[in-house]
Amino acid sequence: MNVRVESTDFLEEVIRHYDLPGDIVEATQCLNGHINGTYRVILLTPEGIKDDLIVQKINHYVFKDPEKVMHNIEEVGRHVRSKKATSDCDIISFMNNKDGRNFTEVNGEYWRITRFVKDSITFDFVESSKVLYSAGYAFGRFQSLLSDLPMERLYETIPDFHNTKKRLDYFFDVVSKDPEGRAKDVKKEIDFFSKYYDFATELTRMTEAEEVPLRVTHNDTKYNNILMHKDTLEPLCVIDLDTVMPGLAMHDFGDAIRFAANTAAEDEVDLSKVGLNLEHYREFTRGFMSALQGLTRKEIDTMALGAITITIELASRFLADHLNGDKYFRIHRPGHNLDRARCQIKLAEDMLEKYDEMREIVNESIASNEAATAIE
């Protein structure tokens, strides 16, 4: 959802730091994202040409060191574009300002600018098997292109971002402190996290035991972070790279699934509508596995576990933020984070019932792509 920006003074101040001549003739704010502030800005140049820009403010509360975030984006962008001849899906890049940096600091806030990708579209909810396959392919391709990027060149922008054990331990710490007095109303939800604590932390244990490899991962693989061509529905560009850092392939897969294969919106309040669409799961999995090569046997065996793990982890984060007074995720109504948490819990419960089928679909997808997938 976009809303018109009435006063554009703050946007003009940011744009002044770039070689972008012209006047703002239109500005809207995108309200879909949870974290950063995103604006679409149309400049009218002195030549009468419209310059279509995306101007974004980095959430300094979430990303404590924005310069490291922008360093990572620059590193992965340079690496992917060095392989442009073999890449059929680009990744987002940001303009350099007059000082040669890909971000600008204005009044203690960090901003960046990119151009709107022509003929692109994003989806928040889809039924199209083509879109699901394309999104899976784009995220699998993203990991494949970065498979030979040395991980030591990247910062860990959010330490322990997908350390589910630490996420759940933090959640229970928030429950014990109960700063807003809200824990009494969510006892059922708290019990859910206690019940599945060991299951949800298995990937953390495997990582610490070095049973599964770290890779350069996206870590926010919602399919609205893929720009698709509005007509062909082919993937054009992977966006929202703020959390690119070392991680698990299963986490990228899982985060995408909990978004792409949910039968309802992420914040649906009617929980009877929430569940795992196995056909959507199948299409995304086919695309992802067709593009991502070199998986180990343990990675394959734990892909479905990754989907449930990430869903439980995100549910705990939503509920922890609700208990904390809604400081991390942007909300649009009272109780919004609680609605999000309950939706993810219901999705996880349905995934647990379908766990065996989910694992079988992964194996079927691997089998159908054996020529392109090297199993170690």
User: In the chain, where are the structural domains located?
Assistant: 2-63+92-115, 129-368
Residue 330 has pLDDT above 90, yes or no: no
What pLDDT is recorded for position 9? 93
Query: What CATH architecture is 129-368?
Result: Alpha-Beta Complex (3.90)
What pLDDT is recorded for position 372? 44
Q: With cut-offs at 50, 70 and 90, classify the pLDDT of residue 371.
A: very low
Residue 342 has pLDDT above 70, yes or no: yes
Same fold, 2-63+92-115 and 129-368: no
Work out the average pLDDT over 69-78: 95
State pTM to two decimals: 0.88
Residue 87 has pLDDT above 90, yes or no: no
Phi, psi of 51 (to 5 degrees): -105, 115
Strands (E), 211-278: 215-217, 226-229, 235-238, 245-247
CA-to-CA distance for 149 and 372, rounded, in angstroms? 20
Tell me which residue has tokens 């990991």.
Answer: 143
217-240 burial code (b ≥16 CB/10 A, e <16): bbbbbbbbbbbbbeeebebbbbbb
From the list 38, 49, 45, the residue with the least C-alpha distance to 20 is 45
Work out the average pLDDT over 65-89: 85
Helix (H, G, I), strand (E, B) or coil at 273: helix
What pLDDT is recorded for position 298? 96
What pLDDT is recorded for position 61? 77
User: Are the beta carbons of 88 and 98 closer than 8 angstroms?
Assistant: no
What pLDDT is recorded for position 146? 93
CA atoms within 13 A on the CB side of 324: 18
What pLDDT is recorded for position 33? 64
Structure tokens at 135: 């999104």
Residue 90 has pLDDT above 80, yes or no: yes
Average pLDDT value for the chain: 92
What pLDDT is recorded for position 198? 98
Q: Which of 50-64, 273-287, 342-356 has the lowest mean pLDDT?
A: 50-64
pLDDT digits (tens, 9 = 90+) for 185-231: 999 999 999 999 999 999 999 999 999 999 999 999 988 899 999 99
**What residue type is assigned to position 369 of the chain?**
N
CA-to-CA distance for 206 and 362, rounded, in angstroms? 19
What pLDDT is recorded for position 34? 61
Q: With cut-offs at 50, 70 and 90, classify the pLDDT of residue 124.
A: confident
pLDDT digits (tens, 9 = 90+) for 100-122: 999 999 999 999 999 999 999 99
Work out the average pLDDT over 235-253: 95
Percentage above 90 pLDDT, the chain = 81
What pLDDT is recorded for position 374? 45
Residue 85 has pLDDT above 60, yes or no: no
What pLDDT is recorded for position 111? 97
What pLDDT is recorded for position 376? 46
The DSSP secondary-structure symbol of 17 reads T
What pLDDT is recorded for position 84? 65
298-319 burial code (b ≥16 CB/10 A, e <16): ebbebbbbbbbbbbbbbbbbbb
Lay out the sheet containing 235-238: strands in order across.
Answer: 90-91, 235-238, 226-229, 120-121
Residue 305 has pLDDT above 60, yes or no: yes
Looking at the domain covering 2-63+92-115, what would its CATH class be? alpha beta
